[in-house]
Chain A
Amino acid sequence: RKEVEQDPGPFNVPEGATVAFNCTYSNSASQSFFWYRQDCRKEPKLLMSVYSSGNEDGRFTAQLNRASQYISLLIRDSKLSDSATYLCVVATGNQFYFGTGTSLTVIP
C-alpha cells in the first residue's frame, strides 16, 4: 500500500470555479502535512502546511482529518495561474512521502 495516494486527475475547470483535491495517507503516526505546487518543468514549492484545525490562505483552504487519514485542498475562484500539479506530502519522522500529484488546468 502506498504511503500517500491522490487522484492524478486531470482536473479541467473554468475560471472562477471551485475545485477540491483529496489525498489519503496510510501511516496514522504521520506528523506533518503539506500541499506543494509544481509548475511544468519546475521544482515543487510549498503552497501551504496543513493543520488539524484547518487553515486558509486567501482562496486556498487546507484541511486534515486524522480519523479518516486524509487531507484536502480547496481552491475557490480559480485563476488561470492556478494551473499546475498539486502534490500532497506527508511527513513521518524525518521522512517525507509525496503523492504522485493532481494536475489542474483552469480554462478561460
Chain B
Amino acid sequence: DVKVTQSSRYLVKRTGEKVFLECVQDMDHENMFWYRQDPGLGLRLIYFSYDVKMKEKGDIPEGYSVSREKKERFSLILESASTNQTSMYLCASGTGVYEQYFGPGTRLTVT
C-alpha cells in the first residue's frame, strides 16, 4: 500500500511565524505536490516537484516556498504565516499521469 504521511494533523501558529509542513512518501514516486483546500474553492496547487531539488510553481505559490532534498520528502514552508493561510494542506505523490496518493492533511490555523 502506498503511504503518504504528513508531520502534523493539526497545527496552530501565530501571524508572522515561519511554518514547516513535512511530507514523506514510501513509494519512490518522482512527483510530489502540495495543495491547499478551502470550502467552495476545491484543491488548489501551491507547488510541485518532479525530481529531487526541482520545484515548479502551481496556481497559488505566493507566500510559500518548498524544499525537496530527498526523493521521498517534500516540505512546504510558510515564510511568514498570515491569517489567510489558515487552511487544510494536502500533500500528494504520484508518477506521470497516473493517480495521485494523498496524505491525511494538515489543518493549519494561523491566529
Interface string of B22-36 (1 = CB under 8 A from A): 000000000101010
Choose the segment among B12-20, B62-70, B77-85, B102-110 that binds chain A (4+ C-beta atoms closer than 8 Å). B102-110
Tally chain B residues at the interface, Cβ within 8 Å: 23
Q: Report Cα–Cα, A68/B42, bound state, in Å.
A: 23
Minimum CB–CB distance for A25 against chain B, Å? 14
Task: Indicate whether A66 reaches chain B with its CB closer than 8 angstroms.
Answer: no
Could you tell me if A43 and B48 are in contact, using CB atoms closer than 8 angstroms?
no
Determine if A49 is an interface residue (Cβ-Cβ < 8 Å): yes
| Bound CA span A93–B94, Å | 12
Q: Name the residue on A nearest B33 (C-beta).
A: A96
Interface size class of chain A, counting residues whose CB lies under 8 Å from the partner chain = 20 to 34
The 8 Å CB contact of A91, one of B40, B48, B97, is B97
A61 to chain B, nearest CB (A): 18
**Among the listed stretches A9-17, A52-60, A72-80, A98-106, which one makes contact with chain B, having 4 or more residues with CB under 8 Å of it?**
A98-106
By CB atoms of chain B within 10 A, which of A8, A31, A34, A43 has the most? A43
- How many Å lie between the Cα of A49 and that of B98 in the bound state? 9
User: Is A28 an interface residue, CB under 8 A from the partner?
Assistant: no
- Pick the contact of B96 from A87, A94, A101 — CB < 8 Å? A94
A98–B41 Cα distance when bound, in Å, is: 10
Complex: A92 Cα to B96 Cα, angstroms: 9
Interface positions of B (Cβ within 8 A of A): 31, 33, 35, 40-43, 45, 48, 50, 90, 94, 96-105, 107
- A sample of 23 inter-chain contacts (CB < 8 A) reads A31-B97, A34-B99, A41-B107, A43-B104, A46-B99, A46-B100, A46-B101, A87-B43, A89-B100, A91-B97, A92-B97, A93-B97, A94-B31, A94-B48, A94-B50, A94-B97, A95-B45, A96-B33, A96-B100, A98-B35, A98-B42, A100-B41, A101-B42
